[in-house]
Structure 1
Amino acid sequence: MPYHAWFQCISGCDEKYELNEIIYQCRKCGDLLEVKHDLSKLRRHSPEHWKKLFDERYRRTKWPYGSSVWGKKEFVCPNVDNENIVSLYEGGSNLFWAERLGKELGVEDLWIKQCGNAHTGSFKDLGMTVLVSMVKQMISEGKSIPAVACASTGDTSAALASYCAAAGILAIVFLPKNKVSHAQLIQPIANGALTLSLDTDFDGCMKLVREICSKNTIYLANSMNSLRIEGQKTVSMEIVQQFDWEVPDVIIVPGGNLGNTAALGKGFLMMKELGLIEKQPRIVCAQAAKANPLYLSYLHGFKEFRPVKAQKTLANAIQIGDPVSYKKAINVLKTFHGIVEQATEDELANASAQADRTGLFSCPHTGVALAVLIKLIKKNEIMRNEKVVVISTAHGLKFPEFKINYHENKLEEVIPRFANLPVEVSPRYDEIMTAIDRKLEKISL
């Protein structure tokens, strides 16, 4: 059955474009685009058919459907031929039952969706496989695309570089100088990307990459390109699939450029429209207090949205003051009775460390989401008996400086309540046992 998807303006001016067009904004009104699907054709199969098909494909070996993104190809990007799909077996990340952490915080059913357990260590892989595959499709059709470019605070550049390397396409990444971790910086370098270190912040990088791509045939890979959103929306579908097609009550996601917030809502809405689910969760967007334009808008009922100058924050991937997907995110939050809350540096660092003490290894952005969870529990906006999912967006190993500096009490504005430094002892039995006994005494108190 020939399924089909296309770009359509989000403002309602009904402008439509094919997915193989190099276009990021509506030519008529200048607003962002979104990918639309022919739902009438998808409805020719029952919800039970789609659930069974997706379950049969999930994490299997038949190309390309073992990928948890391409296993839902009909719902994501049916316009790409299978031979042009660039996949690194993305998706299928662990839905971790955080039983011990939940008990400490006051919720009985807490889950962490570990999107950082991915090929490049973040959820960005989910969107990049769709975008780079579509670029490869366009090149196969004769379009001249010499390179793909993005502005990044680290994770987007890593995903773009890896997928472009797999496809044999040049990646160009615009990074704010000295504002990404060493672990994040080395990823695009290792994968052969042209890595541009610019003395500006993410918003400055974003302005420049948009200018470069608008004046050349270099393809733009940031989340204003809604192909990325199509891959990222599979997080919603995967969570429900991992819960045997049941919907959780609350989902908390860190928010920077706000594409992920938009993507979560898009996935749930599509499943609801096609009958795969019957209810919707509440969606909570968690922002760092030093980069909080959506939170400030939420305080006034989203009556207006004003960009801010993002300040330096430990959650550097969401250090964004002028997010491109704010309209999409606001629409989702209004539809899903959403909440926006913020977290200070002290709150996000300690929330991340507390989670680590229960078996996780959380990035600072996940720390923002966890800190917001703690706040909402205390405010009784999240109840003890609700099933809650926190989206962990990246792997903690990408942020070793953050972890080390926390435990060594070197983070500004942070009092490390869960610091745990190595204990230096002589290589003697009695001194080792003394150290062990002291630790056991502290635990028993």
Structure 2
Amino acid sequence: MTVLVIQVNSLRKKNKPVVGVGCASTRDTSAALSAYCASANIPSIMFLPANKISMAQLVQPIANGAFVLSIDTDFDGCMQLIWEVTAELPIYLANSLNSLRLEAQKTAAIEILQQFDWEVPDWVIVLGGNLGNIYAFYKGFHMCKELGLVDRIPRLVCAQAANANPLYLYYKAGWKEFKPVKANTTFASAIQIGDPVSIDRAVYALKNCDGIVEEAMEEELMDAMAQADSTRMFICPHTGVALTALMKLRKSGVNGANDRTVVVSTAHGLKFTQSKIDYHSNDIKDMACRFANPPVSVSADFGSVMDVLKKYLLSKAPKY
């Protein structure tokens, strides 16, 4: 977003007819864009699907002064509308159809290599929604290989929620024919996308790195999130999708025990507190919530507290 807003700022200083920047969003795109636009004093316009994002996701663009349209549709509907609007009005489109987004996002791949002292990981697992990210990561890794900084690129895995899995279905069909899907509700709300705009670029990237597409059922992604949280990560449901992909690939033997794997985490868990509360309260319909950790109600007396503590500590005692 820094790259994109700098470009818009430059256009406006040259008196180009750009009245603002707009995007369709379900998550951090709107937060980042509105923040940088506020810093540059550029109007930002957000198309958000009504009642499909958390309050923590909604509050950021509002607080940053964005003009927010809450539209009675899903992300795909918002994307179609802003595409039509930006064709008619001088609003700069900030979604991943804009190549500047992808050029800037590829720096994440460069950072991974840098942090590994230029030793290439075997796998990188990236979340897949509108599918710009998977292509951007490929571009970053491929550029480093062309520059001679590394001698190979990692295999990429694109992870999708089973309730919004058009790329996964395309992959399983042997790349025969792409068919958009009607995305169903998923806890990984940011990737509730049935007709991704970067589908062709994503397929190109995956084909050129022997990539894989995996999916996660709702219970799988929520269990993965809870397991990661218990190790102090405190991740979002979307990262739970990526971790589920890792677990499945490890279980099938495709991902080896000694393989170095990077899982890209996409948001902080504080943006998804309600889903975590529901999970740990065993309050999600048709979900076992195997790793739920609800609080224990206890009377306010010493004996009751001691009984509960003894039972808990006994369950945690080493088994010899």
What is the TM-score of this pair, normalised by structure 1?
A: 0.70
> Which residue pairs with 1:333 in the alignment?
206
> Which residue pairs with 1:237 in the alignment?
110
Q: Does 1:223 align with 2:96?
A: yes
Q: Amino acid of the residue matched to residue 393 of structure 1? A: T
Q: Amino acid of the residue matched to residue 126 of structure 2? A: V
> Which residue pairs with 1:169 in the alignment?
42
> Which residue pairs with 1:302 in the alignment?
175
Q: Determine the C-alpha separation between the residues in 2 that align with 1:308 and 1:167.
A: 38
> Which residue pairs with 1:197 in the alignment?
70
1:358 alignment partner, SS class: coil
Task: State the shift of 1:219 in Å.
Answer: 0.6
1:209-247 deviations in whole A, cap 9, x for unaligned? Answer: 011101011111111111111221111110111111111
> Which residue pairs with 2:51 in the alignment?
178
Q: Amino acid of the residue matched to residue 363 of structure 1? A: C
Query: Cα gap change, 1:334/1:413 in structure 2, threshold over 3 Å: closer, same or farther?
Result: farther
> Which residue pairs with 2:193 in the alignment?
320
Q: Amino acid of the residue matched to residue 406 of structure 1? A: Y
Q: Amino acid of the residue matched to residue 188 of structure 2? A: A
> Which residue pairs with 1:279 in the alignment?
152
Question: What does residue range 326-365 of structure 1 map to in structure 2 within 5 Å?
Answer: 326-365=199-238
Question: What does residue range 201-216 of structure 1 map to in structure 2 within 5 Å?
Answer: 201-216=74-89
Q: Amino acid of the residue matched to residue 249 of structure 2? A: L
> Which residue pairs with 2:138 in the alignment?
265
Cα contact 1:351–1:370 (8 A) shared by 2: yes
Task: State the shift of 1:440 in Å.
Answer: 2.0
> Which residue pairs with 1:148 in the alignment?
21
Aligned-residue Cα RMSD (Å) equals 1.2
1:417 alignment partner, SS class: coil
Task: State the shift of 1:154 in Å.
Answer: 2.1
1:197 alignment partner, SS class: strand
2:5 alignment partner, SS class: helix
Q: Determine the C-alpha separation between the residues in 1 that align with 2:148 and 2:176.
A: 32
Q: Determine the C-alpha separation between the residues in 2 that align with 1:330 and 1:443.
A: 48
Q: Determine the C-alpha separation between the residues in 2 that align with 1:241 and 1:417.
A: 37
Task: State the shift of 1:160 in Å.
Answer: 1.1
Q: Does 1:395 align with 2:268?
A: yes
Task: State the shift of 1:427 in Å.
Answer: 4.0
> Which residue pairs with 2:244 in the alignment?
371
Task: State the shift of 1:425 in Å.
Answer: 2.5
1:399 alignment partner, SS class: helix
Cα contact 1:177–1:198 (8 A) shared by 2: yes
Q: Determine the C-alpha separation between the residues in 1 that align with 2:296 and 2:118.
A: 47
1:306 alignment partner, SS class: coil
Q: Amino acid of the residue matched to residue 216 of structure 2? A: A
Task: State the shift of 1:419 in Å.
Answer: 0.5
Cα contact 1:229–1:263 (8 A) shared by 2: yes
Q: Determine the C-alpha separation between the residues in 1 that align with 2:159 and 2:249.
A: 11
Task: State the shift of 1:291 in Å.
Answer: 0.4
2:225 alignment partner, SS class: helix
1:392 alignment partner, SS class: coil
What is the TM-score of this pair, normalised by structure 2?
A: 0.97
1:243-294 deviations in whole A, cap 9, x for unaligned? Answer: 1111111111110000110111000000000111111111000000010000
> Which residue pairs with 2:316 in the alignment?
443
Q: Determine the C-alpha separation between the residues in 2 that align with 1:342 and 1:310.
A: 14
Q: Determine the C-alpha separation between the residues in 1 that align with 2:39 and 2:209.
A: 37
Q: Amino acid of the residue matched to residue 193 of structure 1? A: A
Q: Determine the C-alpha separation between the residues in 2 that align with 1:138 and 1:271.
A: 30
Q: Amino acid of the residue matched to residue 242 of structure 1? A: Q
2:231 alignment partner, SS class: coil
Q: Amino acid of the residue matched to residue 189 of structure 1? A: I
1:210 alignment partner, SS class: helix
1:378-408 deviations in whole A, cap 9, x for unaligned? Answer: 1101000000110001111111111111111
Question: Identity over aligned residues, as a percent?
Answer: 58
Q: Amino acid of the residue matched to residue 164 of structure 1? A: C
2:178 alignment partner, SS class: coil
Q: Amino acid of the residue matched to residue 168 of structure 2? A: Y
Question: What does residue range 26-41 of structure 1 map to in structure 2 within 5 Å?
Answer: none
Q: Determine the C-alpha separation between the residues in 2 that align with 1:347 and 1:252.
A: 16
- Could you list the runs of 5+ residues in structure 2 that have no partner in the other structure? none
Q: Determine the C-alpha separation between the residues in 1 that align with 2:171 and 2:285.
A: 28
2:104 alignment partner, SS class: helix
Q: Determine the C-alpha separation between the residues in 2 that align with 1:271 and 1:332.
A: 15
2:126 alignment partner, SS class: strand
Task: State the shift of 1:156 in Å.
Answer: 1.2
Task: State the shift of 1:185 in Å.
Answer: 0.7
Q: Determine the C-alpha separation between the residues in 2 that align with 1:428 and 1:234.
A: 57
Q: Does 1:382 align with 2:236?
A: no
- Could you list the runs of 5+ residues in structure 1 that have no partner in the other structure? 1-127
